[in-house]
Amino acid sequence: MEKKPFVTKAQLEEITKTYPTPFHLYDEKGIRENAKRLKEAFSWNKGYKEYFAVKATPNPYILKILQEYGCGTDCSSATELMMSDATGFSGPDIMFSSNDTPPEEFKLANDLGAIINLDDITHIECVEKTLGFIPKTISCRYNPGGIFKISNDIMDNPGDAKYGMTTEQMFEAYKILKEKGAENFGMHAFLASNTVTNEYYPMLAKVLFELAVKLKEETGAHITFINLSGGIGIPYRPDQEPNDIMAIGEGVRKVYEEVLVPAGMGDVAIYTELGRFMLGPYGCLVTKAIHEKHTHKEYIGVDACAVNLMRPAMYGAYHHITVAGKEDAACDHKYDVTGSLCENNDKFAIDRMLPKIDMGDLLVIHDTGAHGFAMGYNYNGKLKSAELLLKEDGSVQMIRRAETPKDYFATLDGCPMMEKYLK
């Protein structure tokens, strides 16, 4: 099976006349359509809100598009809070969900009016000491531990995750927070990553909804929202069936009606914090074949590397590759597609069957719209690429320029030896 890129060879050839490869390209039309679908899937819940995970694609132009569909932002650092603020998000449109949090970041979140989601029970004391009080609205992150399974398949291992509080700690935290003046409570959990099944969210919802009822009964806390966080994945491989967000929304609604409504909690707002689902399929990394090597294996060297897309090197993650203009050609050549880092794991594909690749061919690496550019780094002195937005009208807008050597050397501005390259 073949994934179809959202951009054609002709479009790419036109784009590369202005913007050299490599670059990340985002599909505005796809982003907008997906945001509409998500909103519709949860429209049954009056208070529903999507808090887009800024960490997935930290770009103000992307955030502004999502803002048009009522999205807020999910932040986990000071700089993500700053970007949200600069982009026009404020107050409860910002969720601050971090861990091992520096106290000054709690202060910044509070100054912006963000909802603070506490990762650990010890953070209650830290927040109170930092702010001088406990905010009226506050949330706690839950980790039930153990193995999380769906239909006997292990989805993830929350017990090994560093995030969240135990069941006992959740009850204790709610009691302490209530005593210290908190009035509106939220809860949050992330139990599995990149699930490609419509069952995950409803199962997670059931776990959280049942706990919410018990917390309300035992602590008297007023629970105003339940945050299902992320975890809805995308089909990186062409033979995977994509999630049906409408079916997922309906599955959550059924559990809501079964668990929360009979407990008198039919006013609880449902929040989500999706990153990968919102942006993943609507971005690609475009790179050019610049070398070929015939040794113990057949290699195609491209002008991108793990600095531009870390997931294959870091996780062994699969990203589908299309050779632009050769979509219908036979995939009868086996290649390792490599970057130029001095690391042997700098490979976008290993033993991948592809059409014959000629030097100068443009390769589209799919599904890099989330956790693509965002995970970039500067090993080997490599520079991060530009980010471009393919507009609905077919035009292209640069939404982040490529780094230059001057950017790389910028933090050496007090070093006289580097002055030649800082001008």
Structural domains in the chain, sorted by start = 9-22+281-412 (2.40.37.10), 26-280 (3.20.20.10)
User: How confident is the model at residue 154, as a pLDDT?
Assistant: 44
- Round to whole Å and give the CA distance between 350 and 225: 44
293-323 pLDDT, tens per residue?
Answer: 999 999 999 999 999 999 999 999 999 999 9
Please list the ranges in the chain whose pLDDT falls under 70: 1, 147-159, 161
190-201 as b/e, with b when 16 or more CB fall inside 10 Å?
Answer: bbbebbebbbbb
Find out whether 53 and 273 touch, Cβ atoms under 8 Å: yes
Q: Using alpha carbons only, give the angle 362, 363, 369 rounded to the nearest 5 degrees.
A: 125
User: How confident is the model at residue 145, as a pLDDT?
Assistant: 78
User: How confident is the model at residue 1, as a pLDDT?
Assistant: 63
Helices (H), 6-141: 9-15, 28-41, 60-67, 78-87, 103-111, 123-131
On whether the pTM is more than 0.85, the answer is yes
User: How confident is the model at residue 335, as a pLDDT?
Assistant: 98
CA dihedral 255, 160, 277, 10 (to 10 degrees): -160
Q: Kindly calculate the radius of gyration of the chain based on its CA atoms and give it in whole angstroms.
A: 23
User: How confident is the model at residue 421, as a pLDDT?
Assistant: 85
User: How confident is the model at residue 192, as a pLDDT?
Assistant: 81
3-state helix, strand, coil in the chain (%, to 5): 35, 25, 40
245 token code pair: 């967000």
User: How confident is the model at residue 422, as a pLDDT?
Assistant: 85
- Round to whole Å and give the CA distance between 271 and 53: 12
- Round to whole Å and give the CA distance between 192 and 203: 11
Distance of CA 116 to the CA centre of its chain: 19
